[in-house]
Structure 1
Amino acid sequence: MLPLFTFHVSKSIIISSLIIPTSPKPLFPNLSPIRFFQTPKHFVCIRSQKPSMSSSSPTHVEAQYAKSGNSSCKKCSEPIENQALRLGTKDARGYTKWHHLGCFSFGSESVASVDMIKGFQSLKSSDQEALKDDLEKSKEEDSNGKKSSQNRKVREVKEAEDENVGERELKKPKGSSSAVIHVEAEYAKSSRSSCKKCLEPIEKQALRLGTKDTRGYTMWHHLGCFSFGSESVASVDKIKGFQSLKHGDQEALKNLADEFEKSKDEDSNGEKSSENQKVSNLEISFSVSDVKDKYKDATLPPKWKAFQTIIYLERDDGLHDSSKIAAFDFDGCLANTDVRRVGADAWSLMYPSIPDKLRSLYKDGYKLVIFTNEANIERWKNKRQVAVDSKIGRLNDFIKEVNVPIQVFIACGPSRGEDPFRKPKPGMWHILEQHFNSGISIDMDQSFYVGDAAGRSNDHSDADLKFAEANGLKFYVPEDYFGV
């Protein structure tokens, strides 16, 4: 009997082994071996029966709840939290590539039924329904992709006519065909959707606004993150779902549309300089339905609330709104803290003159406000409650120490990204000005902001200086203001 050799081929690496009756397992079990049989005149090549992965083979999908918080999503690279639903497929080496449910794509190969997904029967009924919905959307997208762009435009126009949806035409380049945007308003059915502007999750039952992209998918936004674009909607009453909203949310949506129209008119009339436009164009729609007693999975103490990516002190006893605002940073300005220490008591007064100075401002009719960043609340996904208790505990203790009512806003967004509330972005000031000062116009000549991040050689950043500049506020560093 002639010797039989097996060659395992993987790119440029060739490994051979002698086949004997009790042959060991091949080194690369997932590769399909090629066998060469020697004959007197030539070699005969026969591939084994194990099929290779082809474009027609089905995708092997597995669904399960994460057993720890150590895995990461292969699309967004963010950690997959313990017990969160994750979906995975195996790569050529046999490793499973895990994804969040919202990040997973069935790809070019469809799964005929969710029952073919490994582990599907072990999921909660709500997660089974979510997985079914995603699969159906994937099939619908594949089907729609086969149609011409002209057919898709005709279908979109017909849907607008049949559903009586509020619609508007986009500005289009010369020679292009018309396109229609459908605006929809509803309360989120779950917390699985994310805002397409700030990328933060939209919590269940929160008001969200959406438009469909060219594939037919709805791009959802928080109310405060949504923009009507370059053209206005004829009437918010014609927005799909508007009549089903609570009265307060209907008013918030009307205000958003009115504010957009006002800013558009001002731009067209040239009434403001380009610098002023940058400041004034940030309009934040504050909806009661978006206010929560928890920040994601962290419970907030009494009087503290969450709105999008900020936590705020709802109303401190004795606080009065005013045209004069005295605003301060917290860490390194009012309180001496250390990033290496955690806890409500891990702070001390930055300067001994602070209590008397704040009480004097309060007696002079100033409204005292603290604007502070705290990325740990967002970053510590597995210890978020610890981060929340530590930050809010320090602020509560500080207010008791100085014995004067203060309004507080905490920006929890990550240091990287486009969070509109994290300093130096002006969002926290704008939400104070628009929604937390009883409509009283702020006197910018008498108002000011104090912060330690001024871009000096020993400063960790220039976020406080840039925050003051973005809002047109006079700026002081703490050692100057508190007389050190």
Structure 2
Amino acid sequence: MLVSLLPRNPSSFLLPAAVRFARASMSASPAASAGKVTVSVEYAKSGRSSCKGCSASIAKGALRLGASARDPRGYDSTKWYHVACFPASSHPLGPVEKVEGFESIKDDDREQLRELEKNNKRDQTAISPLEVPSPKKAKAHLSSPEAGVEENASVSVEYAKSARSTCKGCSVSIAKGVLRLGVSVRDPRGFDSTKWYHVTCFPTSSHPLGPIEKVKGFDSIKDDDRELLRELEKDNKREEDTVGPQEVPSPKKANALISSPKVEVAEKLRKVTPSTGNKRISPLIHFSASDIKKTYKDATLPTHWKVFDTVIFREQDEGLHASAKIAAFDFDGCLAKTSVKSIGADKWSLQHNSIPDKLQRLYNDGYKLVIFTNESNIERWKNKRQQAVDSKVGRLDNFIECVKVPIQVFIACGIGKGKGTPDDPFRKPNPGMWWLMTEHFNSGIAIDMDQSFYVGDAAGRENDHSDADIEFAKAIDLKFHVPEEYFGP
């Protein structure tokens, strides 16, 4: 997240396009790619690999591109991509004939790679990947027709007719039937070209929605979806009042926007209909791969862990596939015996001996396994935050190694509502982590709520420490089990 992912902050503020442009330019620079990278091409040997660009699985026999680099631990690590998802800006293909494996692929596939190389060269000519616009340049970029409101651009809304379109904001596919917004412009070659977006990813700063009733297709969508767009229009107007569309905030001002309180977001999040398939939990938490970080405040993470807002998540493993069937679990007290008095990556044991076999059967039956766990100590222990991070992610890594099945993991580090403290929307029982997974880390596949379920030990019973797990399941209308019932004999 996803998400690669892979993967913006959940404040309702959106940074101006020039700032996002600058970030994208920096992340695309060769300096962002640590070590020497070797590019290769081949036909996928199985259906187990996942594209690091869109997080969808790569079908057996499909053409795929790989970026291989020497891992600091001493072995070669390869990230695989669909050809259309390959980050050619950071891993240039030219000359494409020298790409490892090029001679072994079919002629028409060679032409596909040559076309990709040409497109990348055109992109580099249009905007140098090493150029980060200065504030003056960024302002000019914002005010120009090409970078701001494109000339003759029209906005439309509809329900996706298939799952083939990809959101231009987060690079995740848009599921069939999901509400999507499109920006259409007249291509110089004589036809209309439309870029599609998830509603939450739509760039309202460059394509204002108002008046929303005049958006093409508005009259053909459902009443609750019309309200969603009206809310998006209102949010955009508030943003323009706060940060003018021509204003490029200083780093301090941008950070202030990112770290603004989330009371309003959290309150609204609880009031929105839970995600059941294509419905969205929250149009107010804005997500983008550009806001994924490698550190949680002052704590560093292992290379396969990343951060979005107050959520630490584990990057998708080889073999972990998106699915309509979700088997979700709490961690502490459910999958693993742990103690708040014992800190360390090895301070845990299996809660039930049947867990490895049970998880393996679920995986073989086509379920995606997901762990949703709270860990507020990561936020609270300001002087020992690194220790708290190492302990939590270390336990989860060791657990996954023990059970030997790929699992997606989300850790909510935020603190629950208290005096002077807003309730974190990602912390259970709030449904933010579920929303993050379903909307941005499941390749756009709608969830089958009848087959999916959640297992957790915090069920509000007499000896339970809380009711966070059962309330989490209720918030998303998901079947709930306690561990002793699900893993018991």
Interval containing the TM-score (normalised by the shorter chain): 0.3 to 0.5
Query: Normalized against structure 1, the TM-score is what?
Result: 0.47
Give the TM-score normalised by the residue count of structure 2: 0.47
* Greater RCO, 1 or 2 (C-alpha within 8 Å, sep 6+): 2
**Greater gyration radius:** 1
